[in-house]
Amino acid sequence: MTNKNQLQSIKDPQRKIRNMTLIVACIIGFFVVTAVVLLTLLNHVMLQQTRQYLGEISNQCRAAIEKQIEGDLMTIQGVSAFFDDTLDEQSIIERLETENNRNSFIRMSYIDRDYRATVVDIDGSVYTDVDMSDQPVIEAAMNGTLGLSDIMHDRLADKDIVLYATPVYQDDEIVGVMGATRSVDSFSTIIQQPLFGTHGLNLVIRQNGEAILALDEILQEQGNFLEMINFDSQTRKKLEQAIATQSAYTFSFEDSGRQYWGTINTLGYNDWYLVSVVPAYYINQGYQQMMFVFIVTILLLIVVFSFLLLYTNHIRHVSTQRIEHLAYYDDITGAYNTHKFMELAAARLSEDKNYALVLLDLHGFKFINASFGFSVGDRLLCGVSDILSQALGADEIYYHRFADQFGFLLHTQDESVIRKRVTAIMDAISAFELVPGDSHPIHCYCGIKVNQHDSKELNIGLMQDRAAAALAQVKNLHGNHLAFYDHTLLERAQHKNHIEQHMHAALRNREFIAYLQPKYDLHTEQIVSAEALVRWQRPDGSLVPPGDFIPIFEQNGFITQLDLYIFEEVCRTQRRWLDEGLPIVPISVNQSRLLFYQKNYLETVHGLVSKYDLDPKYIIIEVTESLATNKAEEIASVISGLHTLGFSVSMDDFGSGYSSLNVLRKLSIDELKLDRDFLSSTELEARSRIILRNILELARELHITTVCEGVETRIQADQLRDMGCDIAQGYFFSRPIDIESFTKLAFGTE
């Protein structure tokens, strides 16, 4: 029994060892099999992710090129609406010059049905009777197809260009073609954007493999993509099939001992294809690290297999994050790039329509880079990104669109809320300090598209285009501005273009007419003076409302010429009255901010009254309170100069600002025109009466004549007289009338 027990005691450990060995062997076998299976699965997943990420990055470049082409085609389609076969050559040249200065084309042309072109270069050079019959894209446009030419070399500009062409219609018939020439540099800039840092590249090839857009060294070294790479037969065959069928294809190849991944896809124009190539190392490096860890683990009998799994997941996560960051985030600011933003915004809009898209652009960013250096410019971009990050909520996103332009989604459709929030963001950006101790002003402007409640189109791309259209409306305004997109933007742009095209001719043809609105003494109810107003009467007798052209003239600066024109009309009228033996009536003339700030302003107005041999005391210079509150010292100096010359000065719209009394303290004025907002009802409200009575008393003590405009009822006139107002102006007494009618009314002449 004892021997049996001893034998059993020996056999048991051996059995345990054998069992343990078997278990360990099974475990090792299990881990080995598991490792092999996992490696195979991971390899498959990595290949799928590689194709996905590479395809997404390539699609970004493809979308940018297509957007450039489609935007250019839309531009010349819009321009073509202003051309037809009734225009003479000079009109065509003038319109081409106007439109060419509004875009980035290097040349624009109008081609008639005989394929004879009138061409205007961006430098102002004009070529007429140019034969364009050898251009297929022109011929196609003559047949109703808008399109884009192949790349060709331009001898005049000494650079490679493409030619856009679109039909010009008149009464639904093609009467010509609008052409526009763009340097291929704009496309080169797109494809030369960094890909996976600076390690990848994009190029555009033709169907035969010829590279037409790429880095210069690629084009110089070998002009054909299919020939410059030693593809294996299967890859080459599939590439040729993809090109032949105009389909996307992801491929890999080896060159100079290095492995690469690439993708090819048609651009949809001519026979152009976009090729994107990235070294495999920068995509596969996370996978290679995982392979190493697995092999080591297998050699060590997978002692710490659980740790390996965690580590593997970590490496994979880091690798995915790195690739995702390169594909979806801006390198400078760390904000989303356009592709990622559009993806996230589309997802949000599909779930909730209650959003508005805002595009924000910085004024003078190129000047900042040139003056302070690119590092300061980059710091400003990062500062804007930080401001947006802090200002937006958890359900709102933003992105760095390009250069100095950002965009963001606000989770609201309330325009007042949007205006308040966007204004606060712009104010925060304006307060950003570029350089310590330097108060360089930073201004920005915003275009906003609100996604309407009843909108069925949730296309974020369409919202972005419309926000960009709104952005263009305030691009040239100084300071911080914002604009909302509405469906009248296009009509307003066309109206503005029409006004600006005709304003100079209208001034030459004396279509602008001075109207006079009488001003009455409230005690005698006799005419004592008048205000000069402008009306635009077209040759057909129709009137253009002042609200339709005055704001445009104030924006483009033409208001200064119109102000001086009306000033001279007033001088001419007063001279005629004197020559006819009539008494002279003082007339007030409005002066715009731009004209009032001109250095030679005093010499100009003095020269006009001297030209007509008039006493300046009969002309009252009107300035608005808003003008007077800015640059008070400069304004005071000009007013003093006007007084020295003998002019009287009136302050218009008094009470519309927030510093009226301070203005009275700083400026020496002769007449005070009270803002029509004081007359808010037929009978003056109690609060308005108190304010008016005290203003009138203050003006009386300062020996300032008071005028109230906008008087429409007898009750208002009587109340103003009783409170001590001197003069009234408004429809109760007379609407603005032409000079002949005023002469009859004021002097009783026939």
Structural domain spans, the chain: 81-186, 338-485, 493-747
Residue 18: which pLDDT band, with cuts at 50, 70 and 90? low
Cβ-Cβ contacts under 8 Å for 705 (sequence gap 6 or more): 670, 671, 672, 699, 726, 727
321 vs 341: which has the higher pLDDT: 341
Q: What CATH number was assigned to the domain covering residues 493-747?
A: 3.20.20.450
* pLDDT of res. 276: 82
The answer to whether the CB of 650 falls within 8 A of the CB of 621 is yes
Least confident span in 164-178, 569-583, 614-628, 728-742: 614-628
| Mean per-residue pLDDT, 323-341 | 85
- Tell me the two tokens of residue 154: 């331009």
Q: CA dist 445 to 337, 403, 618, Å?
A: 20, 15, 43
The answer to whether the CB of 358 falls within 8 A of the CB of 422 is yes
Residue 663: which pLDDT band, with cuts at 50, 70 and 90? confident
Least confident span in 257-261, 309-313, 523-527: 309-313
The C-alpha atoms of residue 475 and residue 478 are separated, in whole angstroms, by: 8
Of all residues in the chain, the percent with pLDDT exceeding 70 is 85
The answer to whether residue 681 scores a pLDDT higher than 70 is no
The C-alpha atoms of residue 292 and residue 133 are separated, in whole angstroms, by: 65
| Neighbouring-strand partners of residue 118 | 110
The residue written with tokens 């790349």 in the block is 151
- Rounded to 5 degrees, what angle do the CA atoms 150, 154, 157 make? 140
Relative to beta strand 273-279, strand 258-266 is antiparallel
42 vs 436: which has the higher pLDDT: 436
Burial class (CB in 10 A: 0-12, 13-18, 19+), 715: middle
- Tell me the two tokens of residue 479: 């300071």
Question: Which candidate, 567, 569, 516, 573, places its Cα nearest to that of 736?
Answer: 516
Of all residues in the chain, the percent with pLDDT exceeding 90 is 41
Q: Which tens digits make up the pLDDT trace of 153-182?
A: 887 778 888 899 999 998 889 999 999 998
Instruction: With H, G, I as helix, E, B as strand and everything else as coil, classify residue 654.
Output: strand
Least confident span in 589-593, 625-629, 692-696: 625-629
The C-alpha atoms of residue 419 and residue 448 are separated, in whole angstroms, by: 9
Residue 1: which pLDDT band, with cuts at 50, 70 and 90? very low
| Mean per-residue pLDDT, 51-79 | 82
| Mean per-residue pLDDT, 516-544 | 95
* pLDDT of res. 4: 44
**Separation of CA 411 from chain center:** 21
Residue 629: which pLDDT band, with cuts at 50, 70 and 90? low
Residue 89: which pLDDT band, with cuts at 50, 70 and 90? confident
Residue 19: which pLDDT band, with cuts at 50, 70 and 90? low
* pLDDT of res. 496: 85
The answer to whether residue 229 scores a pLDDT higher than 80 is no
Least confident span in 177-181, 268-272, 580-584: 268-272
Residue 745: which pLDDT band, with cuts at 50, 70 and 90? very high
| Mean per-residue pLDDT, 710-718 | 92
* pLDDT of res. 429: 93
* pLDDT of res. 7: 40
**Separation of CA 236 from chain center:** 44
* pLDDT of res. 570: 98
The C-alpha atoms of residue 156 and residue 116 are separated, in whole angstroms, by: 18
* pLDDT of res. 6: 41
* pLDDT of res. 27: 72
The answer to whether residue 705 scores a pLDDT higher than 90 is yes
Model confidence, pTM: 0.46
Burial class (CB in 10 A: 0-12, 13-18, 19+), 264: buried
Q: CA dist 223 to 161, 271, 279, 405, Å?
A: 18, 16, 21, 36
- Rounded to 5 degrees, what angle do the CA atoms 705, 710, 715 make? 90
Residue type, 319: S
The C-alpha atoms of residue 197 and residue 669 are separated, in whole angstroms, by: 65
The C-alpha atoms of residue 190 and residue 184 are separated, in whole angstroms, by: 10
* pLDDT of res. 21: 62
- Which phi and psi (to 5°) does residue 348 adopt? -65, -45
Same fold, 338-485 and 493-747: no
* pLDDT of res. 172: 86
Give the CATH class of 338-485: alpha beta
| Mean per-residue pLDDT, 363-382 | 89
- Which phi and psi (to 5°) does residue 9 adopt? -65, -25
The answer to whether the CB of 295 falls within 8 A of the CB of 65 is no
Residue 256: which pLDDT band, with cuts at 50, 70 and 90? confident
The per-residue pLDDT of the chain, averaged, comes to: 84
Note the maximum CA span of the chain.
157
Residue 735: which pLDDT band, with cuts at 50, 70 and 90? very high
Q: Which tens digits make up the pLDDT trace of 110-136?
A: 999 999 999 999 888 898 999 988 899
616 vs 91: which has the higher pLDDT: 616
Q: Which tens digits make up the pLDDT trace of 428-457?
A: 999 898 888 777 788 999 999 998 765 555
The C-alpha atoms of residue 571 and residue 613 are separated, in whole angstroms, by: 9
Q: What is the b/e burial string over 126-163, where b = at least 16 CB atoms within 10 angstroms of the residue's CB? A: eeeeeebeebebbebbbeeebbbbebeebeeeeebbbb
Q: Which tens digits make up the pLDDT trace of 475-515?
A: 888 889 999 998 777 677 778 889 999 999 999 999 999 99
The answer to whether the CB of 573 falls within 8 A of the CB of 584 is no
The answer to whether the CB of 499 falls within 8 A of the CB of 549 is yes
Cβ-Cβ contacts under 8 Å for 317 (sequence gap 6 or more): none
* pLDDT of res. 104: 84
The answer to whether residue 528 scores a pLDDT higher than 60 is yes
How many Cβ atoms sit within 10 Å of the Cβ of residue 489?
Answer: 17
The answer to whether residue 2 scores a pLDDT higher than 50 is no
Q: What CATH number was assigned to the domain covering residues 81-186?
A: 3.30.450.20
* pLDDT of res. 449: 93
- Tell me the two tokens of residue 63: 């979308």
518 vs 318: which has the higher pLDDT: 518
How many Cβ atoms sit within 10 Å of the Cβ of residue 113?
Answer: 13
